Structure 1
């Protein structure tokens, strides 16, 4: 069903009742899988992601590689994304061979490589497996956030949180022409209906101030004058996501300390 673009210009409310700068509900847990080195479960709206981390481990044949002089000075991050058949409305299972998921995995691996101290684990590999259980909007941002939590749970030293969010442009009502100099409002954290109808970008930042952008992925073409506002809104969204992820990590750390002290 197409997005009703007549409502927003009148009420400044989106179809799900949020204003332009409101995040969807974010819920996350870490250490959800006891058999894994690190794990996290994250929900952004109705998008649900399970992330499992194993390693860093030396791959099979690592000794032979070192003897042949092909050892690596730092660990590599390998990301695999699987989307369950029941995750989306098309009821199609996607796995290793899906080109879009492979590109997303490469983007996530590159982003995490900038944040992790991989030089501490030479000739090793960190395996990240993401299971997309439900889709309601862009998937890349929640996958990045879930991976950040799972790597922290696995004890991989990181410089800071890598946090991601999406930002799009508000739609114009049918028959409404944009006047010269008039700009469309940015929309923070798109849901599934908005993803299909409006141009958007995914931005991920490293650090508390969000001053280092590590991922910037644009979907569809937009006017250059609109990009600056979209980027600024997306970075602000990343700051707020970072605060929510930090709260999850601190709560988990407090629970572990309380359990260890017997209180």
Structure 2
């Protein structure tokens, strides 16, 4: 889930899974869908007559999302596979597309899908003679034009540029440069959030293994049987202390050398007797 001001989006990633009923594809396919919750917009609760139909706005958002993400996914590593990205807009207060792109890219990275780099996206509006980023719905309604920029800052590659409205060329260039700077800042925050999530999962895994080892030791101490396939507790302790293993190895080596010395002396004694 990603929150940009009052805009909230939720993303889920499924796959890669086999593309059934299709011809062989040399590279995978990325399928993106964006849906607006019926309560996403203030004062405009939507009802879908006749079932979950897809609006033209949702189709346009889905196409833009796929266009922004596709250059970042290593689809050549996923032949005859499909990666599905679903975005649900819980609250729309402006900048839905940029929030959806950033959230989906984070979800793909968190799902360990092969990426060239994470995609960060920002949206802005032309408010008079100024260009502002992360405009809310009221500011976008009052603006003369809007701009959405998505890029991979790690590779310095632009993946999506969407512009609406009649804006002078100079203002459009200024908005693009400002959007690229905003993407770079957002990318750093995304990387930090992803790193934090990975470290938290690693700590949870270590804690779970420690609890399992304690439970096993307690079970064996109470007279229970060692589960099949598990190393004996004594062997586990021996492996855990490498110094003991080294001492035992040195002792065994000394015994071998002593035996060889006695054998040599016995052979020399036999020759002298003859």
User: TM class, shorter-chain normalised?
Assistant: 0.7 to 0.9
**What is the rounded CA distance, in whole Å, between the counterparts of 1:204 and 1:56 in structure 2?**
24
Aligned pairs (5 A) from 1:1-263: 41-61=1-21, 65=22, 70-89=23-42, 90-93=44-47, 96-171=53-128, 184-198=129-143, 199-208=145-154, 211-262=156-207
**What is the rounded CA distance, in whole Å, between the counterparts of 1:45 and 1:164 in structure 2?**
14
Larger radius of gyration: 2
Q: Which runs of 5+ in 2 are unaligned?
A: 211-274
Q: Which runs of 5+ in 1 are unaligned?
A: 1-40, 172-183
The count of residues paired between Structure 1 and Structure 2 equals 203
**What is the rounded CA distance, in whole Å, between the counterparts of 2:119 and 2:175 in structure 1?**
19
The SS at the match of 1:78 is: strand
Q: Post-superposition, which runs of at least 4 consecutive aligned residues in structure 1 deviate over 6 A?
A: none
Answer 1 or 2: higher relative contact order, Cα 8 Å, separation at least 6.
1
1:96-130 Cα distance to aligned partner (Å, 9 max, x none): 52112112111211221100111111111111111
**What is the rounded CA distance, in whole Å, between the counterparts of 1:116 and 1:96 in structure 2?**
29
1:209-230 Cα distance to aligned partner (Å, 9 max, x none): 6x31111001211011211111
**Residue 238 (structure 2) aligns with:** none
**What is the rounded CA distance, in whole Å, between the counterparts of 1:216 and 1:96 in structure 2?**
28
Tell me if structure 2 keeps the 8 A contact 1:82–1:132.
yes
Tell me if structure 1 keeps the 8 A contact 2:153–2:183.
no
1:71-103 Cα distance to aligned partner (Å, 9 max, x none): 111111111111111110221257652112112
Tell me if structure 2 keeps the 8 A contact 1:167–1:233.
no
**What is the rounded CA distance, in whole Å, between the counterparts of 2:127 and 2:176 in structure 1?**
14
The SS at the match of 1:97 is: coil
